[in-house]
Copies of this chain bind each other. A is one copy, B any other.
Amino acid sequence: MGVKLGILGLGTVGTGTVQLLQDLVGRNPLLQEIEIYRVGVRSLDKIREVELPAEVLTTDLEAIVSDPAVDIVVEVMGGLEPARSLILQALKNGKHVVTANKAAIARFGAEIFTTANQAGVYVMLEAAVGGGIPVIQPLKHSLRVNRIHTITGIVNGTTNYILTRMQTEGSDFSDVLADAQRLGYAEADPTADVEGLDAADKIAILASLGFDGRINLQDVYCEGIRQVSKTDITYAEKLGFVIKLLAIAKQSTPSSPSSSLSVRVHPTLVPKAHPLASINGVYNAILVEGEPIGEVMFFGPGAGAGATASAVTSDILNLVAVLKTSTVNPNPLLTCGHQDYCQIAPMTELVTRFYARFLTKDQPGVIGKLGTCFGNHGVSLESVVQTGFQGGLAEIVVVTHDVREGDFHQALAEIRNLEAIDSIPSLLRVL
């Protein structure tokens, strides 16, 4: 029994981690050196799915992070406070920290990593993004030998589950959401998932690692999936796309070291042949493009007790291995080396394709007028479809070629003023 863990939280992930550590046959033998020394919980009376000696459970979380016997603090309680304070205290007390807390890392990463560096300890966060998928470590330890161009992820299982069911069943967002809540795939308050906030936290973390700089969470553009209608899914399907909530971090000119990034979360039309198009249900996937590697994709369960416990335990395993080496200097791949903020370009500067759906009066020449307005602002069209009618109005769908987002919005402003245009119910980006 060499390495003592202090686990903060015994919810889904904490329970999964304890279960894994209590059943070691067939796993890496190094895990046998771990002792579950303390587990901090809110209530000692609650019935647990795991058996732990009475002296291990405690409601005094502060005592865990300041106990000199604890080597590694495993923060799996979630939420911003007291998680942030406990993490900082643990680090100041010279303890390595493993956390699954994307919200805390995305918001307080700078403070947390600075504290860790000062104390000479490590913060590990494999479980913060992509559930069980090993992606943080490959990004830090392997892929950064590449010049990273783009990181594109389906990093929120709830929204991917909802969009997949809308796609396969032709259902409405609100019906599928209600069902997902009933089945436990969406939370009672689905805001963080559905509005893209959870995905924004995760892409901020991935971007920070991939592009070696801090990311200000306020700079991450974020659009959720509430406005995705089954009409748009049907049009997308006809045009050869599926709609996915993508989290994207992209360097505008990868060869220039001072190039700015776009970091964003939004529903996106993905060509059906694209590797991310076939990631369905609660699965997550992260696609990394760089030079000279090309494209690499990681795919797996984005959530769940077992998958997340696997990621948490892999971080613990790596720390146990480090503790055995009696290292003199910190390993630069395990510390956070950057202190500068990445430069994030405004969305108006983004160059992307767009999908837009217009409801127009059923009169001749409307497509011509649309085309003229687009042309005035340098927007060229890849495809135009006019098939449906909605309540006496003609429905026109266009997909553009690559265009500066600012120019596209200027064209739309002009189009909105056309007498023939009733409304523009949908506007989505295209990968």
Contacts and interface: CB of A to CB of B under 8 A. Distances in A.
A22 to B, nearest CB: 12
Interface in A83-130: 126
A168 interface: no
Contact of A324 (B278, B290, B329): B329
A182 interface: no
A275 interface: yes
A328 B325 contact: yes
Contact of A332 (B301, B321, B327): B321
Q: How large is the interface on A (under 10, 10 to 19, 20 to 34, 35 or more residues)?
A: 35 or more
B307 A294 contact: yes
Copies in the complex: 2
Contact of A29 (B27, B146, B337): B337
A138 B275 CA distance: 21
B301 A298 contact: no
Does more than half of chain A's interface fall in helix, strand or loop, or is it mixed?
mixed
Contact of A146 (B143, B310, B318, B332): B310
Contacts of A300: 293-297
A167 interface: no
A270 interface: no
A95 B26 CA distance: 32
Contacts of A144: 27-28, 317
Contact of A317 (B134, B145, B317): B145
A235 B336 CA distance: 54
Given A299-B296, A318-B141, A327-B328, A333 B30 contact: yes
Interface in A225-271: 254-255, 257
Interface in A329-363: 329-334, 337
Contacts of A25: 147, 255, 257
Contacts of A26: 147-148, 254-255, 257
A145 B20 contact: yes
18 contacts: A19-B292, A25-B255, A25-B257, A26-B148, A26-B257, A27-B147, A31-B145, A134-B296, A137-B142, A143-B310, A146-B310, A292-B306, A294-B306, A294-B307, A298-B299, A325-B329, A326-B327, A326-B329
6 A-B pairs with least C-beta separation: A292-B306, A296-B300, A142-B314, A26-B147, A326-B328, A134-B138
Given A145-B313, A321-B331, A327-B327, 17 more contacts: A25-B255, A27-B144, A27-B145, A132-B296, A137-B137, A142-B311, A275-B299, A292-B307, A292-B310, A293-B306, A296-B299, A296-B301, A297-B298, A318-B333, A324-B331, A324-B332, A325-B330
